[in-house]
Structure 1
């Protein structure tokens, strides 16, 4: 049967995310690098040589992941099984067989849905902290969920205090 052994996430705050965009100039590559770093860390913790299957949502419009897999995952040259708009699948033969796929709408699959739920929960906790920080400094400030239209309103309302505190915008606000 299948059982959950572990659940982990990598929180990337705006300052680091913006630095990644400066390095990569591409949100999709930044997301792929972060995902594959986390995958590599989890693989290092596994014992034994049982085969592993990894399911990921696609990152932007990317169809080709082999170069990124080579950069992040040890064990051998990733064999391309399929690359296309709907799904890109690879196999790495090493100490263990590793099958990894990047699929459109992968949140319909239980492991990806659970990962997405964890990420969204962590995002909500971060937004609670952000709103609390600014509400303590600006009386009557309406909280934000951080989505585009409301985020612009929120940024406009805190901009004077941001300037007064000398906080660089890239430290708390994502470029993309």
Structure 2
């Protein structure tokens, strides 16, 4: 008996500049899913091979929370390198598709792609990968009892984020709405499209959304209004059973959920897209910078974002950039 597993995580929830990115990965697991969210036994064991480092095209790669894999520029001479994240994304491209023409942008929601193209400091080209970045799946991973077969992402620009806030949503609502929309997209359909037998269980793992602890109402709203059964709403995990399209799935929001390998993989994909977006963001403002000193790039977090906005104030005025399109209100 196998299982259908969806894992989600975000990058960019805290910053005030740049997009909020959410990624979801869908997996087939050749093992019995447990009846709770403790991540013990066969489910966690199924991902053991992905937790061990592999050398891949000169990169020592291990699937882990993106904050452990990616080192920011301020951390030292090796900081800012996207090599490990690029390798992980390149492998994912091969794992989910035999087509060499697959681009990362195909994983991005179509409405977000329109927003990206309408944003001067972004554009879809900033997410493109070179052909050589799409690399073969390491043999230990390919022979494991898990298989990655789909990826979906949201890249929510600051302008779109602010529109969602203006509509009455709070910051946690934005994250939950984006995340659960991806889950709904990746749930198996009741048709021959599904890669799994109809009776295989479905389980979804998410890192907890900020400090949010209660999710029943938003789950009912996103998944058609049927009664959601609360299984746990403790300090460490919020778990629910959700009826949807004639089936039920279990969804768990856990503290430090990115310790679980498939959630960590989603974290790495989200981080890759976020960092590529910030590269494009910083390059745009550097191009129009006329000061005597080079413009220091920003990762978009609040204190440094304020410094950066002060440094580029003349560019914002000259380019007639609307603050609502640039700076998140939350």
**TM, length-normalised to structure 2:** 0.50
Q: Is the 8 A contact 1:89 1:100 kept in 2?
A: yes
Taking structure 1 as reference, are residues 56 and 128 closer, same or farther at Cα in structure 2, changes over 3 Å only? same
Q: Secondary structure at the match of 2:297?
A: coil
1:61-97 superposed Cα distances (whole Å, 9 cap, x missing partner): 2211111111112484211111122111111245333
Q: Is the 8 A contact 2:229 2:240 kept in 1?
A: yes
| Residue in 2 that maps onto 1:63 | 213
CA apart distance, 1:117:
1.1
Number of equivalenced pairs:
176
Q: Secondary structure at the match of 1:8?
A: strand
Root-mean-square deviation (CA, aligned residues, Å) is 1.8
Question: Structure 2: how far apart are the matches of 1:169 and 1:56?
Answer: 32
Q: Which has the higher contact order (CA 8 A, sep 6+)?
A: 2
Q: Secondary structure at the match of 2:278?
A: helix
CA apart distance, 1:25:
4.4
Matches within 5 A, 1:152-167: 152-167=306-321
Matches within 5 A, 1:22-37: 22-37=166-181
Higher strand share: 2
Q: Is the 8 A contact 2:219 2:242 kept in 1?
A: no
| Residue in 1 that maps onto 2:231 | 81
Question: Structure 2: how far apart are the matches of 1:58 and 1:74?
Answer: 22
Q: Is the 8 A contact 1:51 1:96 kept in 2?
A: no
CA apart distance, 1:18:
1.2
Taking structure 1 as reference, are residues 165 and 55 closer, same or farther at Cα in structure 2, changes over 3 Å only? same
Question: Structure 2: how far apart are the matches of 1:75 and 1:92?
Answer: 10
Tell me, which stretches of 5 or more residues in structure 1 are unaligned? none
Question: Structure 2: how far apart are the matches of 1:24 and 1:108?
Answer: 32
Question: Structure 2: how far apart are the matches of 1:173 and 1:93?
Answer: 38
Q: Secondary structure at the match of 2:151?
A: coil
Question: Structure 2: how far apart are the matches of 1:59 and 1:85?
Answer: 13
Q: Is the 8 A contact 1:36 1:72 kept in 2?
A: yes
Q: Is the 8 A contact 1:75 1:93 kept in 2?
A: no
- Off by >4 Å, runs of 4+ in structure 1: none
